[in-house]
Amino acid sequence: MNKKITALLREQATKRFLEYVRIDTQSDPESKMSPSSEGQWVLGRILREELIELGLEDVELDAHCYVYATLPGRAGCVGPPITFCAHLDTSSSESGANVRPVIIRNYDGGDIRLPGSGKKHLTTAESRELLQFVGETLIFSDGRTLLGADDKAGIAEIMAALAAFKAFSELPHPELKIVFTPDEEIGAGTDFIQMNRVGKYGYTMDGGMMGEIEAECFDAWGMDLLFKGRNIHPGYAKDQMINAASIAARFVAALPEWETPEHTEGRAGFYHVTRIEGAENSAMVKLIIRDFDKSANQRRMDYLKNLAQLFERRYGGLEININAKDQYKNMNEVLHRHPEAVDKARRAIALADVAVRENPIRGGTDGARLCFMGVPTPNIFAGAMRVHSKTEWIPEVALEKASEVVVRLCALWCEV
**What tens digit of pLDDT does each residue of 205-236 get?**
998 999 999 999 999 999 999 999 999 999 99
pLDDT at residue 121, rounded to an integer: 82
Identify the helix (H) or strand (E) that includes residue 121. strand 121-122
Q: Look up the domain containing 119 and give its range.
A: 3-217+330-413
Residues 324 and 371 occupy one common structural domain: no
Q: Looking at the predicted structure, is the pLDDT value of residue 403 above 90?
A: yes
CB 90 within 8 A of CB 146: yes
Residues 207 and 233 occupy one common structural domain: no
Q: Which neighbouring-strand residues pair with 207?
A: 381
Residues 181 and 237 occupy one common structural domain: no
Residues 93 and 162 occupy one common structural domain: yes
3-state secondary structure of 163: helix
Where does 21-134 have alpha helices with state H?
Answer: 38-53
Inter-axis angle of helices 3-20 and 38-53, nearest 10: 150
Identify the helix (H) or strand (E) that includes residue 225. strand 219-228
pLDDT at residue 206, rounded to an integer: 95
CATH number, residue 255:
3.30.70.360
Instruction: Single out the catalytic residue among 89, 157, 366, 396.
Output: 89
Taking only the tens place, the pLDDT of each residue in 110-169 is: 999 899 887 778 889 989 999 999 999 999 999 999 999 999 999 999 999 999 999 999
Domains identified in the chain, total number: 2
- Dihedral sign for Cα 378, 384, 385, 389, please: negative
Percent of the chain with pLDDT over 90: 91
CB 142 within 8 A of CB 114: yes
Residues 248 and 364 occupy one common structural domain: no
89 catalytic per annotation: yes
CB 244 within 8 A of CB 312: no
Confidence band of 172 (pLDDT split at 50, 70, 90) = very high
Residues 67 and 144 occupy one common structural domain: yes
CATH number, residue 345:
3.40.630.10
- What's the mean pLDDT in 370-382? 96
pLDDT at residue 416, rounded to an integer: 61
| Separation of alpha carbons 394 and 156, rounded Å | 13
175 catalytic per annotation: no
pLDDT at residue 207, rounded to an integer: 84
Q: Which of 328, 355, 385 is the last residue of a domain?
A: 328
Residue 124 class from Cβ within 10 Å (0-12 exposed, 13-18 middle, 19+ buried)? middle
Residues 22 and 146 occupy one common structural domain: yes
Q: Which of 328, 356, 389 is the last residue of a domain?
A: 328
Residues 271 and 388 occupy one common structural domain: no
Residues 324 and 341 occupy one common structural domain: no
Residues 213 and 227 occupy one common structural domain: no
User: pTM of the prediction?
Assistant: 0.90
- Average pLDDT across the chain, whole number: 95
Residues 281 and 145 occupy one common structural domain: no
3-state secondary structure of 213: strand
Torsion region of 120: left, alpha or beta (phi above 0 gives left; psi -120 to 50 gives alpha): beta
Residues 143 and 238 occupy one common structural domain: no
Give the distance between the most distant pair of CA atoms in the chain: 83
3-state secondary structure of 403: helix
- What's the mean pLDDT in 243-263? 97
Q: Looking at the predicted structure, is the pLDDT value of residue 86 above 80?
A: yes
Of 136, 48, 83, nearest to 396 (Cα)? 136
Instruction: Single out the catalytic residue among 94, 150, 157, 184.
Output: 184
Q: Which DSSP category does 363 fall into?
A: S
